Amino acid sequence: MNKETEKKISLNGSQSLQLKDRKYLELSGAKKVISFNEEKVLLQTTQGLLDIKGQGLNIHNLNLDNETIKIEGLINSLSYTDKSLEKGILKKIFK
């Protein structure tokens, strides 16, 4: 990755993610819970937007002061995106 590419990706802060048996997720670097239900959790993290999909998802421990979150349930996928949240919301409004 060259220096130009590194400048475009704005990642600030460290993050760790621990997934145990696809049922228990512990994450540091959580900035904000954008949305959640039993099938999807969308988080703003220090490394970008994190989309967590699964079944029976529950947030058991959220501490935004320490930037930590624990999620339980059957986790099917974790995916990061560099898309801006504001652009996505505006697209939905003006669609």
**pLDDT at 81 (0 to 100):** 85
* pLDDT tens sequence for the chain (95 residues): 444 444 344 567 889 999 999 999 999 999 999 999 999 999 999 999 999 999 999 999 999 899 999 999 999 999 998 765 555 555 555 55
- Residue 69: CB partners within 8 Å, gap ≥ 6? 26, 27, 30, 33, 43, 59, 61, 62, 63
**Structural domains in the chain, sorted by start:** 11-93 (2.60.40.2000)
